[in-house]
Amino acid sequence: VSDRARHACGVLWRPEFARVLDPVLASRQVDVVEVMFEDLLTFAEIPPSLAALKRRGATILVHGATLSLGGAERPDMRRVRGMARIADMLDAPLVSEHLAFVRSGGREAWHLLPLPRTRQAVDVLAENLDVVRSAVDRPVALENIAYLFEWPGNEMSEAEFIRTVIGETGSLLLLDVENVRVNACNYEFSAEDFLAAMPLDRLAYVHVAGGEVLRGVHRDTHSERVPPATLRLLELLSSRTEIPHLILERDQNLPAPQDLANELRDIDQALARGLAQRRWGSRAS
Ligand SMILES: [Fe+2]
């Protein structure tokens, strides 16, 4: 496999975007796409677009946003079994979810909410992950979210919390580089230091996206081009570690196919620049 093929950025594939995404994917050597299992629950078989990608040897990663892994209530088994069915149908090597909760006491937040960064929250996550793993017979990767508030009484920094959860639960890391940038802007910390503190030996894959600034607050809206600052963080990450897979998330405001293709090319180039630095560094040492 050439470096080019191995490092091509894939996309979050959603059924409603197939008309824009499919020609772009067909014109590139994309070796990976991601789907939301919630999008495919009504599908009895693999959508033709994904079947075509699979025939070309692409890997399909299954992502979720409604399992509420950090919630005080046990995950809803209907959803967990739905994720398992979609992962089986697509022969996904792993599934992923967020370090977040989305419901409590029967109420849906319709948004990823941050977890209190406490010992107790780690234990709750571990128990919920056991439930998920009992049905989804493959590795689970956990994603860092962008958050608009923090709970009082945090016992750990976000990086410590992520390292603890990944280490104690044996999970993999889905590192969202845009979320790192967004949080670093909103909470005024160093995104570079945060990346350095991540358990990169457990890295399964990476998300990039672009968001908006609303009333001075950076938001992960997945509605804009990936900003230059996020591409620089991606390059830095790529200079430090192998990135097994990379996915561009776009949920709204989808660009024209040519603009999307240009954006994917820019992301590939950031990845390649980092890779060149890493190779140069390992040769020099
Ligand atoms: Fe993400």
SS3 letters across the chain: CCHHHHCCCEEECCHHHHHHHHHHHHCCCCCEEEEEHHHHCCCCCCCHHHHHHHHCCCEEEEECCCCCCCCCCCCCHHHHHHHHHHHHHHCCCCEEEECCEEEECCEEEEEEECCCCCHHHHHHHHHHHHHHHHHCCCCEEEECCCCCCCCCCCCCCHHHHHHHHHHHHCCEEEEEHHHHHHHHHHHCCCHHHHHHCCCHHHEEEEEECCCEEECCEEECCCCCCCCHHHHHHHHHHHHHCCCCCEEECCCCCCCCHHHHHHHHHHHHHHHHHHHHHHHHHHHHC
What separation in Å is there between the alpha carbon of 177 and the centre of ligand 1?
8
What separation in Å is there between the alpha carbon of 54 and the centre of ligand 1?
23
pLDDT given for residue 285 in this prediction: 66
What separation in Å is there between the alpha carbon of 181 and the centre of ligand 1?
12
Q: Taking residues 107-136, what's their average pLDDT? A: 97
CA-based nearest residue to 226, from 276, 271, 186, 195? 271
Q: Taking residues 25-35, what's their average pLDDT? A: 90
Question: How many residues would you count in the chain?
Answer: 285
- Name the residue with tokens 């992502």: 63
Residue 2 has pLDDT above 70, yes or no: no
Q: Is the pTM of this model over 0.85?
A: yes
Q: Taking residues 203-215, what's their average pLDDT? A: 97
Q: What are the structure tokens assigned to 80, written together?
A: 């967990």
Q: Taking residues 72-77, what's their average pLDDT? A: 95
pLDDT band at 4 (very low <50, low <70, confident <90, very high): very low
Quote the mean pLDDT of the chain. 94
Neighbours of 196 (CB within 10 A): 13
Q: How far is residue 175's CA from residue 265's CA, in Å, rounded to a whole number?
A: 20
Q: Taking residues 252-268, what's their average pLDDT? A: 94
Q: Which of 27-36, 84-93, 107-116 has the lowest mean pLDDT?
A: 27-36
What separation in Å is there between the alpha carbon of 283 and the centre of ligand 1?
33
pLDDT given for residue 5 in this prediction: 43
Q: Taking residues 203-229, what's their average pLDDT? A: 96
pLDDT band at 28 (very low <50, low <70, confident <90, very high): confident
Q: In what order do the strands lie in the sheet with 203-208?
A: 10-11, 246-248, 203-208, 172-176, 140-143, 95-98, 59-63, 32-36
pLDDT given for residue 44 in this prediction: 92
Q: Taking residues 77-103, what's their average pLDDT? A: 98
pLDDT band at 29 (very low <50, low <70, confident <90, very high): confident
pLDDT band at 283 (very low <50, low <70, confident <90, very high): confident
Residue 198 has pLDDT above 90, yes or no: yes
pLDDT given for residue 1 in this prediction: 36
Evaluate whether 110 touches 151 at the Cβ level (below 8 Å). no
% of residues, the chain, pLDDT over 70: 97
Q: What are the structure tokens assigned to 39, written together?
A: 């999008």
pLDDT band at 281 (very low <50, low <70, confident <90, very high): confident
Q: Taking residues 139-160, what's their average pLDDT? A: 97
pLDDT given for residue 249 in this prediction: 97
What separation in Å is there between the alpha carbon of 98 and the centre of ligand 1?
8
Q: How far is residue 271's CA from residue 236's CA, in Å, rounded to a whole number?
A: 9
Evaluate whether 211 touches 223 at the Cβ level (below 8 Å). yes
Q: How far is residue 188's CA from residue 5's CA, in Å, rounded to a whole number?
A: 36
Q: Taking residues 148-166, what's their average pLDDT? A: 97
What separation in Å is there between the alpha carbon of 178 and the centre of ligand 1?
8
pLDDT given for residue 30 in this prediction: 86
What separation in Å is there between the alpha carbon of 176 and the centre of ligand 1?
5
pLDDT band at 7 (very low <50, low <70, confident <90, very high): low
What separation in Å is there between the alpha carbon of 6 and the centre of ligand 1?
21
